[in-house]
Amino acid sequence: MENSEVTILLVDDEPDILEFLGYNLEKEGYHVLKAKNGQRAISMAKQYKPQLIILDVMMPVMDGMEACAEIRKIPELAGIMIAFLTARGEDYSQIAGFEAGADDYITKPIKPPLFVKRVQALLRRFQNEPDQSDIIVLKGFTIDKSRYIVIKDGVDITLVRKEFELLLFLVSCLNKVVTREEIFAGVWGEDVVVGDRTIDVHIRRIREKMGIDSIKTIKGVGYKFDED
């Protein structure tokens, strides 16, 4: 993601600090919004949906903690990142205890290179896009190899190892029929010998857990994963 696509909302009651932080972030190409208290921050957040909000803890009208709690209650702003600005010395562990809603803490005084690094790290971590090569997107669902799960309708489905490997194998031959022999060779390995019903049982469990009929049986031949 380009920095220019990232919007950051800065919230502080001191114009100087807004200016200072804004300058450093804009220099990196981020799109920066500014608000001078928690209330304004919330309305701006609703309107512009920033990726990250940097909130000063100490503010008049509505302080950072309050604002954070409010923002966390708003469903449309779910997934937004919030970082607190705190004065050095206020033990962040105490703050962490008050409010688990924050994603990060940045202490004043602010040192620009570190500040920018921190923001970058935050954005990177939360975008945390899994490696594309580990993800297979099908019509109705997504297979994430790195997390060993299948996601269907936003719900995580956990398959156990053999089930997962079998599914992967079928999907790797999308729309093609694979024989039982090929399945054995691909999932179990050439030399392993297991009974004939073993595949059936695994297929069944996959169909059950995933609630799909994408795995078609071709009688006398084998199985096929159909992408409708």
Return residues touching DNA (CB under 7 A): 160-163, 180, 188, 192-198, 200-204, 207, 217, 219-222
Q: Kindly list the distances between the CA atom of residue 111 and the CA atoms of 115, 124, 135, 176, in Å, as whole numbers in the listed order.
A: 6, 20, 38, 58
One of 5, 130, 200, 204 touching a second copy (CB under 8 A): 130
Q: Rounded to whole angstroms, what are the CA distances from 28 to 18, 51, 135? A: 16, 15, 31
| From a second copy, DNA, none, interface partner of 111 (C-beta below 5 to 8 A by class) | a second copy
Residue 121 interacting with a second copy (CB under 8 A):
yes
Collapsed DSSP state (helix, strand, coil) of residue 19:
helix
Closest to DNA by CB, 84 or 225: 225
* CB-based contact 128:81 (threshold 8 Å): no
User: Do the Cβ atoms of 57 and 78 come closer than 8 Å?
Assistant: no
For 213, the 3-state DSSP assignment is coil
Which x/- pattern, by CB under 8 A, does the window 81-120 give for a second copy? -------x---xxxxxxxxxxxxxxxxxxxxxxx--xx--
What does 198 bind: a second copy, DNA, none (CB cut-off 5 to 8 Å by kind)? DNA
User: Which is nearer to a second copy, 189 or 220 (by Cβ)?
Assistant: 220
Q: Is position 169 an interface residue for a second copy (rule: CB under 8 A)? A: no
Residue 73 CB, shortest distance to a second copy, in Å, is: 6
Q: In sequence order, what are the residues at sequence separation of 6 or more whose Cβ sits closer than 8 angstroms to the Cβ of residue 59?
A: 11, 12, 13, 36, 37, 38, 67
Distance in angstroms (rounded) separating the CA atoms of residues 103 and 124: 13
Which string of x and - marks every residue 33-72 that binds a second copy (by CB under 8 A)?
Answer: ------------------------------------x--x
Give the span between the Cα atoms of 154 and 170, in whole angstroms: 22
Judge contact between 102 and 83, C-beta under 8 A. yes
For binding to a second copy (CB under 8 A), which residues are involved?
Answer: 14, 16-17, 20, 69, 72-75, 78-79, 88, 92-114, 117-118, 121, 125, 128-130, 132-133, 135, 137, 139-142, 146-148, 151, 153-156, 158, 160-161, 174-177, 218-221, 224
